[in-house]
């Protein structure tokens, strides 16, 4: 795991608390520039000083809920989420697939005979077909995860460059001989201009956020931010290049719920809102892609099926309960923010998105709500042409 700003902030807070706990006044004076008077006035000392990191987190979260202001960088929360999820699930957790499969046209019997990699590769074939990619094409994968897409494309003679915020994912991708960089795709990369035949945004736009998921204004800001990113994508594409997008949208009836708050806080992000004024289509239509939509699909059931048919999937509360949870709890002691991730897995919030129910215990019952007006979340696919 890479040392990012949050790791440094928590290390300093812990250092301060431990020194206060040990009552080492000289060190406090030297490193934290305090006077004896200030130290003696400090409200928490002795064993209580160890509660400081948790109280600071609580205070931060209250400020965030009330004002939507995030003092910690979301990108860093996301990086820790993915680094920890790889650490907690182990390599190959969720069979390395962080997004949906593609099941259209398959019978239940056929699905049962397939493994997670099979229906993920089936999805990649569909995406390549929709993009119009062929041998020799060059694709930019924004939010590449462990680069399962890049690995598949390599077998087809297609070049993929992946970007991710997680250093663990970069390591993983490089170990497979793939090209991946630890880079924020919100930032402009001049050397990418007019360089790619196709771009992929597969389940990664969920992390782009500028505020709390509990207030409607955050969703408007998010939509505008995505338009900015899509404008960058437009400039990275060659003439007639295509872009594939897949992303979860939150039903407006559910965005003010505790479930949504924990979900978004756990991985550092914000879904788009499933409303014509705030959704990804609106973001596309605010850019030069306007009017060039080639394909759209509600792919929610494919995400649900990918989870229930893969016993190692990160959305499966059963498998996760035994392996990664203790590790996550241990990490929460030094990085209290990881506790969101612990609750997220314990309550089975991933599956809540598809049926609106919490999924606790060793044998949770997963169901799929067909009616998108009642379902908390919907996953959309879209393809646009430059």
Q: Does 185 bind ligand SAM (CB under 6 A)?
A: yes
3-state secondary structure of 143: coil
Q: Does 307 bind ligand SAM (CB under 6 A)?
A: no
Q: Are 139 and 196 in contact (CB under 8 A)?
A: yes
Q: Which of 165, 230, 273, 349 binds ligand SAM (CB under 6 A)?
A: 165
Q: State how far the alpha carbon of 219 is from the alpha carbons of 126, 245, 273, in Å.
A: 30, 18, 6
The least distance separating ligand SAM from the CB of residue 46, rounded to whole angstroms, comes to 41
Q: Which of 144, 349, 377, 383 binds ligand SAM (CB under 6 A)?
A: 144
Nearer to ligand SAM, 53 or 123 (CB): 123
3-state secondary structure of 327: helix
Nearer to ligand SAM, 148 or 251 (CB): 148
Q: Are 355 and 375 in contact (CB under 8 A)?
A: yes
- Binding map of ligand SAM across residues 197-236, x = CB under 6 A, - = no contact: -----xxx--x-----------------------------
Q: Are 252 and 275 in contact (CB under 8 A)?
A: yes
3-state secondary structure of 250: strand
Stretch in the footprint of ligand SAM (CB under 6 A) among 23-31, 93-101, 215-223, 320-328: 93-101
Q: Return the residue matching tokens 């890479």.
A: 2
- Binding map of ligand SAM across residues 99-138, x = CB under 6 A, - = no contact: x---------------------------------------
Q: Does 249 bind ligand SAM (CB under 6 A)?
A: no
The least distance separating ligand SAM from the CB of residue 237, rounded to whole angstroms, comes to 18
Catalogue the E-assigned strands of the chain: 138-142, 159-164, 179-182, 196-202, 237-250, 272-273, 293-298, 377-385
Stretch in the footprint of ligand SAM (CB under 6 A) among 161-169, 209-217, 251-259, 273-281: 161-169
Determine the Cα–Cα distance for residues 122 and 230; give it in Å rounded to an integer.
Answer: 26
Q: Are 14 and 46 in contact (CB under 8 A)?
A: no
The least distance separating ligand SAM from the CB of residue 143, rounded to whole angstroms, comes to 3
Q: Which of 93, 143, 211, 315 binds ligand SAM (CB under 6 A)?
A: 143
For residue 301, with 0-12 CB atoms within 10 Å meaning exposed, 13-18 middle and 19 or more buried, which class applies?
middle
Nearer to ligand SAM, 133 or 165 (CB): 165
The least distance separating ligand SAM from the CB of residue 187, rounded to whole angstroms, comes to 8
How many other CB atoms are there within 10 angstroms of residue 108's CB atom?
Answer: 8
Stretch in the footprint of ligand SAM (CB under 6 A) among 8-16, 157-165, 304-312, 355-363: 157-165
DSSP assignment letter at 271: P
Output the DSSP codes for 282-317.
HHHHTSTTTT-EEEEEE-HHHHHHHHHT-TT-TT-H
Q: Does 163 bind ligand SAM (CB under 6 A)?
A: yes
Q: Does 78 bind ligand SAM (CB under 6 A)?
A: yes
Return the closest-CA partner of residue 206 out of 121, 265, 131.
Answer: 265
Stretch in the footprint of ligand SAM (CB under 6 A) among 139-147, 300-308, 311-319, 345-353: 139-147
Stretch in the footprint of ligand SAM (CB under 6 A) among 3-11, 31-39, 181-189, 209-217: 181-189
3-state secondary structure of 158: coil
Could you list the residues that contact ligand SAM (CB under 6 A)?
Answer: 75, 78, 82, 97-99, 143-145, 148, 163-166, 169, 184-186, 202-204, 207
């Amino acid at each position: 795991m890479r040392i990012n700003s949050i790791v440094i902030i928590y290390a300093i807070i812990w250092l301060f608390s431990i020194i206060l706990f040990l009552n080492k006044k000289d060190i406090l004076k030297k490193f934290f520039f305090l006077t004896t008077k200030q130290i003696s006035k400090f409200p928490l000392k002795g064993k209580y000083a160890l509660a400081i990191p948790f109280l600071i987190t609580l205070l931060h979260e209250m400020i965030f809920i009330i004002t939507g202001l995030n003092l910690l960088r979301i990108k860093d929360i996301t990086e820790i989420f993915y680094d920890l999820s790889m650490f907690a699930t182990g390599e190959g957790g969720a069979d390395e697939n962080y997004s949906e499969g593609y099941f259209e046209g398959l019978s239940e019997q056929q699905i049962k005979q397939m493994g997670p990699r099979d229906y993920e590769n089936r999805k990649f074939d569909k995406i390549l077909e929709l993009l119009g990619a062929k041998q020799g094409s060059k694709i930019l994968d924004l939010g590449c995860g462990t680069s399962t897409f890049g690995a598949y494309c390599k077998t087809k003679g297609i070049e993929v460059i992946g970007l991710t915020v997680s250093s663990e994912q970069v390591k993983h991708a490089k170990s497979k001989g793939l090209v991946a960089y630890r880079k924020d795709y919100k930032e402009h990369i001049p050397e990418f201009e007019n360089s790619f035949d196709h771009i992929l945004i597969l389940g990664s736009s969920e992390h782009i956020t500028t505020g709390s998921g509990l207030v409607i204004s955050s969703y408007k800001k998010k939509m505008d931010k995505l338009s900015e990113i899509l404008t960058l994508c437009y400039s990275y594409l060659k003439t007639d290049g295509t872009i594939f997008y897949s992303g979860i949208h939150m039903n407006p009836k559910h965005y003010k719920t505790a479930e949504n708050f924990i979900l978004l806080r756990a991985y550092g992000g914000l879904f788009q809102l499933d409303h014509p004024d705030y959704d990804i289509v609106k973001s596309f239509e605010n850019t030069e892609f306007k009017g060039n939509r080639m394909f759209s699909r509600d792919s929610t059931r494919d995400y649900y099926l990918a989870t229930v048919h893969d016993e190692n999937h990160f959305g499966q509360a059963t498998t996760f309960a035994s392996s990664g949870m203790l590790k996550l709890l241990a990490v929460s002691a030094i990085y209290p923010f990881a506790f969101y991730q612990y609750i997220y897995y314990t309550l089975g919030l991933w599956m809540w998105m598809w049926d609106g129910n919490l999924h606790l215990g060793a044998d949770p019952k997963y169901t799929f709500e067909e009616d998108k007006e009642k379902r908390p979340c919907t996953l959309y696919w879209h393809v646009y042409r430059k």
